[in-house]
Amino acid sequence: MTLIVPTRSVVLAGALACITFAMPALAFEPSNPECIAPANPGGGWDFTCRQVGKTMQDLGAVPGTVQVTNLAGGGGGVAFAEVVNKRNDDDNLIVAASSATATRLAQGAFPGNTMDQVRWLASVGADYGIIAVAKDSPINTLPELMDQIKADPRSVSIAGGSAVGGWDHLKVLLAAKRAGIDDVRSIKYVAFDGGGEAVTQLLAGSVQAFTGDASEAKGFVDSGDIKVIAVLAPDRLEGDFASFPTAKEQGIDVIGANWRGFYGPGGMSPDAYDYWVAAIGKVYDSQEWKDVMAQSGLAPLNLRGPAFNEFVAQSVAEIQDLSREIGLIK
């Protein structure tokens, strides 16, 4: 679950990767391309496999069709273990991943498994986080919210749609750290079953702020019920969110997004690795994928090959640090 804070070197490496991984000469071509969605049909991982697979087919980036296999369980852990233990050298296989994958790896939720057991291929977009308050709140900026927490941590409760230690919780802790709040355990986070319920509690006055993703808040933004005080993106989003400032432009240098991307088996051949990085890159560069992103609310995140691996490693490391601070892991 996780665009944390890409360094300038990561972004530069991503740009270079876009050049490096043009579609290669066909030293390898999958005989039976397959994408594992580590969950049941519906939801983000299934969407990622099916939409990217279809676009690959439409663009001729793969021979034939991409078979989608749903392998649910353990928040992605069943699929991860299957790839590591049983399909480690399968050159035909890619697996959908997201910030949730990085979070669970960081928190040791995949027993015995680590991120370096697979090959991280490329990202295909991100759903950037937001921090919002009710429309009639006296708070108008992210620094104002953080200053109130510093002055009286007990006076501010922040609602999110993930469990304690989940992505909604972690991204507000990242913002707090960047705002100079050293003891992130002072942040009062209230977990609800989904972003919609969390916003409902915000509107009812039960909490003072909301942390979630732009896509799940869009309806409440359209209705004017909430006031977005920060978007956790590197630059302002387009469309309906264009008028909302980033945290970065308010002096709090944090980026938080639920990224979407893919990994492959750790033992895949170098030719297969190059092939899949290039095939995913071809999808990302296409107008077809730009249309999918616009329709689904995905924002740009274009990292490929080594740059994506560095990004995931950085995400995992920072999530581990935060999780230790709040006592989720030792």
Position 3 pLDDT exceeds 50:
no
- At residue 118, the 3 state secondary structure works out as strand
pLDDT number for residue 26: 59
Do the Cβ atoms of 310 and 115 come closer than 8 Å? no
Banded pLDDT at 70 (limits 50, 70, 90)? very high
69 and 89 belong to one structural domain: yes
What phi and psi values does residue 60 have, to the nearest 5 degrees?
70, 25
Contact 312, 123 (CB under 8 A): no
Q: What is the pLDDT of residue 6?
A: 46
135 φ/ψ angles, rounded to the nearest 5 degrees: -60, -30
Domain boundary among the residues 212, 233, 250 is at 250
Q: What is the pLDDT of residues 51-69, one digit of tens each?
A: 999 999 999 999 999 999 9
pTM of the predicted structure, to 2 decimals: 0.74
- The answer to whether 157 and 151 are in contact (CB under 8 A) is no
Q: Six-digit token pair at 262?
A: 């893919």
User: 157 and 208 in contact (C-beta within 8 Å)?
Assistant: yes
C-alpha–C-alpha distance, residues 92 and 102, integer Å: 23
Which of residues 250, 279, 299 is at a domain's end?
Answer: 250
Phi/psi at 243 (5° precision): -85, -5
Q: CATH number of the domain that 308 lies in?
A: 3.40.190.150
Report pLDDT digits (tens) over 190-234: 988 778 888 899 999 999 999 988 877 778 888 999 999 999 988
What residue type is assigned to position 29 of the chain? E
Domain boundary among 194, 221, 250: 250
- Count structural domains, the chain: 2
| All residues at 6 or more sequence positions from 129 whose CB lies less than 8 Å from its CB, including other chains | 167, 168, 171, 211, 212, 213, 214, 231, 232, 256, 257, 258
C-alpha dist (Å) from residue 53 to 6, 48, 76, 170, 282: 27, 8, 19, 31, 12
**Distance separating alpha carbons of residues 102 and 38, to the nearest angstrom:** 13
Residues 23 and 64 in one domain: yes
Q: Is 199 in the same domain as 261?
A: no
Q: Are residues 110 and 31 in the same domain?
A: yes
- 40: which DSSP letter? S
Going 108 to 114 to 118 to 121, the CA torsion angle's sign is: positive
Structural domain including 234 reads: 128-250
Report if residue 2 sits inside a domain. no
pLDDT digits (tens, 9 = 90+) for 243-265: 899 999 999 999 888 899 999 99
